[in-house]
């Protein structure tokens, strides 16, 4: 039975961490030499890097992570926005603003028309990818989620449309995951929060307290045919080194059982929320956060890595260079938050954000940092998911498709949504990255499609 499947071996993780201590500079560099091959690292090798504290060696780890990120993903950064549908929740997770006992939180569930209003607000900002989120409740059951997805895909304003809906909802059944698959979702994302069983059980109350229900959710989703899976933990709940190795263990489990690892790994750090009196028992410093991002990139080079607006402007910029390939922009973490007044936006939020810039400013800064903003959803619609995606991602071939598609979607953004200053900066970004396409035929095809966008066509992709 599925419940007997062992995903995490805490003893093995602890032994790996212990074995990674006290390594010489030469031994650390041996691991880095392997990591630069972009074939991934095992638990013991990742532990060696996690246990490294020497500033010089940390600099070498960061440099290697930049090399691997460039090799696999190039300089593109995919943008998305979360859309919170409901903050009703039957669980009582100690760290979460949506927790059942948070009496100071105004509760709200968006109806179909309110969802349309939110989607139009997001489309006016240029977003093409959404991640829908809601608390676990009978008010947000699968019927509600299916209707919400259909409403999102059906809502358009001017040239705006949502082309990919990713989903982050509570662990559920194989049958419900089949329904999500039929609803044409992109990635199914679920955080374990913490992989340390005793800590997990102590922090949760309600259906989510069942550790095995949570940790095996991705297995059930795979069994239902969802082959794009997202993992993550909430850093700060337990030792970050343990959590990183647990994420690698979970990734290896999925690859061994289903032949495909996670499509994404998210790296949120704890952030405070209104009405929640919780202090993370294992806070992660900025320097350790950069290290864990770099080690994850080196350990699972083919996996997309996501950073949210939980992090500051400065930390997000640093993390982009260390392995992050997807980022949210202009996020609101409350139902109905988009378009609301600034003083109202956090009243019903799940957590406080740290980067409050509007998407246009975020996008301009991404260009100024030398990266290429992307709103691409081509892989999902071309069937490049699961094993098919990994076949082009692992050798680094994915960027040969992603860069042209990123250019086309960014050109759309500049034509339809950008401020004059962002358009000026962005046109320079387009020119620079177009020159980076080495295949002459592909470059010419990309240029031709960009001209078609200028004449009014939309949604062109390879």
Report yes or no on 317 lying in a domain.
yes
Nearest to 170 by CA among 196, 185, 188, 182: 188
pLDDT along the chain (462 residues), means of 10: 77 98 98 97 98 98 97 94 98 97 96 98 98 98 98 97 98 98 97 98 98 98 97 98 98 96 97 94 98 98 96 97 97 92 68 95 98 90 72 65 92 98 98 94 96 96 88
108 φ/ψ angles, rounded to the nearest 5 degrees: -155, 140
- Rounded Cα distance between 348 and 104, Å, is 9
Would you say 194 and 234 are in contact if contact means Cβ atoms under 8 Å apart? yes
In a domain, 389, yes or no: no
Residue 17 CB coordination number (10 Å):
21
Is 89 contained in some domain?
A: yes
Q: How far is CA 392 from CA 73, 254, 387, in A?
A: 11, 18, 9
Provide the domain limits for residue 192: 71-379
User: Which DSSP string corresponds to 176-225?
Assistant: HHHHHHHTT-S-EE---B---HHHHHHH--SGGG-HHHHHTHHHHHHHTT
- Residue 33 located in a structural domain: no
CB 446 within 8 A of CB 362: no
269 DSSP 8-state letter: B
pLDDT digits (tens, 9 = 90+) for 167-218: 999 999 999 999 999 999 999 999 999 999 999 999 999 999 999 999 999 9
Residue-wise pLDDT for 105-129, tens only, equals 999 999 999 999 999 999 999 999 9
The helix or strand, by DSSP H or E, that contains position 307, with its residue range, turns out to be strand 304-307
Distances, alpha carbon 175 to alpha carbons 169, 180, 190, 382, in Å = 14, 9, 17, 25
**In-domain check, residue 325:** yes
- Determine the 3-state secondary structure of 243 from DSSP: helix
Q: What is the pLDDT of residues 12-66, one digit of tens each?
A: 999 999 999 999 999 999 999 999 999 999 999 999 999 999 999 999 999 999 9
39 found inside a domain: no
CATH code of 185's domain: 3.20.20.70
pLDDT at 457: 96
Residue 32, in any domain of the structure: no
pLDDT for 2: 43
Residue 172 falls within a domain, yes or no? yes
- Cα separation, 18 vs 51, in Å, equals 9
Dihedral of the alpha carbons of 65, 71, 77, 83, in degrees to the nearest 10: -80
User: Total domain count for the chain?
Assistant: 1
Angle at 190 between CA 233 and CA 161, to 5 degrees: 120
């Amino acid at each position: 039975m599925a419940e007997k499947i062992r995903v995490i071996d805490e003893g093995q993780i602890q032994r790996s961490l212990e074995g990674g201590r006290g390594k010489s500079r030469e031994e650390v560099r041996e691991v880095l030499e392997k990591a630069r091959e972009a074939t991934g690292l095992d638990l013991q090798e990742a532990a060696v890097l996690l246990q490294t504290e020497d500033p010089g060696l940390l600099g070498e780890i960061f440099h290697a992570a930049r090399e691997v990120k460039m090799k696999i993903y190039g300089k593109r950064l995919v943008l998305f926005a979360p859309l919170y549908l409901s903050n009703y929740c039957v669980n009582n997770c100690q760290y979460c603003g949506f927790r059942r006992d948070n009496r100071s939180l105004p509760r709200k569930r968006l109806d179909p028309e309110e969802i349309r209003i939110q989607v139009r607000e997001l489309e006016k900002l240029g977003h093409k990818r959404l991640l829908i989120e809601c608390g676990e409740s009978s008010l947000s059951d699968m019927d509600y989620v299916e209707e919400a997805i259909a409403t999102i895909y059906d809502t358009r304003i001017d040239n705006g449309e949502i082309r990919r809906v990713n989903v982050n909802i509570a662990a559920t059944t194989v049958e419900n995951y089949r329904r999500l698959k039929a609803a044409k979702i992109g990635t199914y994302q679920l955080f374990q929060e913490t992989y340390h069983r005793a800590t997990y059980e102590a922090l949760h109350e309600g259906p989510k307290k069942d550790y095995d229900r949570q940790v095996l959710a991705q297995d059930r989703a795979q069994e239902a045919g969802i082959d794009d899976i997202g993992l993550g933990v909430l850093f700060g709940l337990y030792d970050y080194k343990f959590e990183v190795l647990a994420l690698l263990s979970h990734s290896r489990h999925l690859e061994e059982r289903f032949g495909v690892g996670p499509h994404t790994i998210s790296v949120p750090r704890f952030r405070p929320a209104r009405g929640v009196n919780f202090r993370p028992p294992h806070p992660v410093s900025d320097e350790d956060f950069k290290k864990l991002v770099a080690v994850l990139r080196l350990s699972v080079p083919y996996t997309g890595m996501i950073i949210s607006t939980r992090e500051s402007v400065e930390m997000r910029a640093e993390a982009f260079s260390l392995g992050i390939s997807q980022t949210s922009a202009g996020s609101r973490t409350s139902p109905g938050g988009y378009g609301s007044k600034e003083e109202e936006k956090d009243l019903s939020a799940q957590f406080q954000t740290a980067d409050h810039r509007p998407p246009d400013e975020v996008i301009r800064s991404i260009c100024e940092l030398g990266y290429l903003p992307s709103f691409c959803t081509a892989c999902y619609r071309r069937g490049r998911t699961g094993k098919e995606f990994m076949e082009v991602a692992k050798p680094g071939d994915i960027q040969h498709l992603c860069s042209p598609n990123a250019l086309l979607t960014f050109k759309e953004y500049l034509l339809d949504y950008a401020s004059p200053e962002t358009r000026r900066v962005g046109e320079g970004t387009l020119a620079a990255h177009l020159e980076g396409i080495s295949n002459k035929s592909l470059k010419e095809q990309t240029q031709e499609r960009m001209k078609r966008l200028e004449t009014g066509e939309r949604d062109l992709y390879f």
